[in-house]
Structure 1
């Protein structure tokens, strides 16, 4: 088994593709078994898809746009917002497949369920393992209905198969995200990979924030907007809690940066009597003093105000990847990793993003290859044993060398 990565910061999409393809194949005696591709939305995604589909005929690929750059063990890659990376695994004992579906009506639960389950069926068929439970489902989707997508996948495989990944992103939250695999492309849909690796995997999903106080209970909400908390306008409750003056506050109003350091938490379970939180990133106050988020919140949920510092966000990636190395099989040799880091956190600490990548590199080991994207929503498997979707989080999967008997 072997994992390798390649990257380019060339602004020209065709030249960037040629560079990463050459890097990935120059020392390889045979094609890889599975490829993951991340690219900043500044690139022409159709051109990337065409180049990779032609260069790696019949090899399963899953690809997702990233916010303003990508990362590998060599650093944060973004030249004027352009970055492209490939991650590949050579695994003679593993089986990999991908599936992709467009979703015409993303607001219709039935359409979302059908698309997700069809994509997973494609992935399982591509891996040659129909009817079996994968070791991991790697998920990328256009933002908006990831909670329903996880539920759709769990309807097929149960809730004990780990689901990890991240939601497609663009440069400035304008909807310019995209996805593709080895056969199709979409700007609104879902892409999944079914992984049956020849070795073990370790995974972790964490926020790195701490709860400071209870905010109250959601008494009115609509999809990704909290309208009322304890029967008060949600924005008023939130802004008071973060000591933000409301007297001169104009509605609607963006609070994206403030929300990155003060997200909303909900208890996702407990571990050793300590609560595990999943986060929602407040993005804006609407004209009715509602609180817009990047995740679903339901009426009746108890909300907590979470806090994070600049330093905690910088070092959080390293802590999460370190947790992926502490599984029961951690005595085995790790060979590489995939890392998802929230775009909101990256933008909040943008001047120190190189330190974020350095923290991940130190935790994995200076020579261990990894690749990652900056996403508009993160999916992962909590330490409580449940899959979930959250914001301002980090998800990591570490691959281990197959043990020879």
Structure 2
């Protein structure tokens, strides 16, 4: 007959396994609130099981350590969110595989320790900035016979922040475009009507009036095209995600340029780091974003009297895939760099800024980003980042 404590432990293990599966599914679907709730349940179950293990260990003779092979740790390793424990006066410990990968350790956490200790000790902040990303922090304090210790789960919300930023910009552009077009359309129509009224008239005054109305009509048409370009950003569809190898995607996009006879005088270099993982991307959208940035890089080298060079690199970190596009053109002025990704900003004499903004919108919609880097090795370096999930 199964004893009551063992039955309770078995049920808790089953609940932990189900909670781990729930968290994994929530992370894959980007349902961060559900993931945080599931992680909290996992923390409570883990605390319960740890309390039982400590009590059993106190009542049993010593045995050889089992490492991470016991059922509790096996289930915890299936949770895609990093789990951390902290005993009073001790150092934070990586509890599961996700935490060990994030902090690059087998047990005690060294990398990022100061930021983590600050977040885990009162007064606690519900968020943590670590390794260039924002994490939501869920804490649970556990009382055992050996004293209290804290359990924490980290939920990477940086991708969700990027997605919200993209959605906010789309909504803003949609409202602005609608309101401006509502006012601009009648102005353009009235200018054309007034010019028709003036057509039978002669004299210097009528000529000046016709010229003014022609200018007004032409500027209205130009502004309409400009607004239409930004309204296209607001209509960007949600990405249709499929597993894509970033290196292969960059190779395919770059072939459009290397096979173009008009670009025979440009040197294109591509470096793909070993071990770059597959990521979930909308291949068509990301391909267009890459084309926009590579085109900008090519155009930036037009004034070069010597070598024209565009270099691409595909690399990865534990959290992101990074695609760098560098050129040896004249660079971007410091006065422009700070506001480069602001709406309507452009570095071209007759540009609208939509190409760069579209590329960043696409990256943001994927939970990634597009940034301008400061690297002395090249005049201008843009970098896409796309999150590695799973």
TM range (shorter): under 0.3
Q: Which has the higher contact order (CA 8 A, sep 6+)?
A: 1
Q: Which of 1 and 2 has greater Rg?
A: 2
Could you tell me the TM-score, scaled by structure 2's length? Answer: 0.25
**Which is strand-richer, 1 or 2?**
1
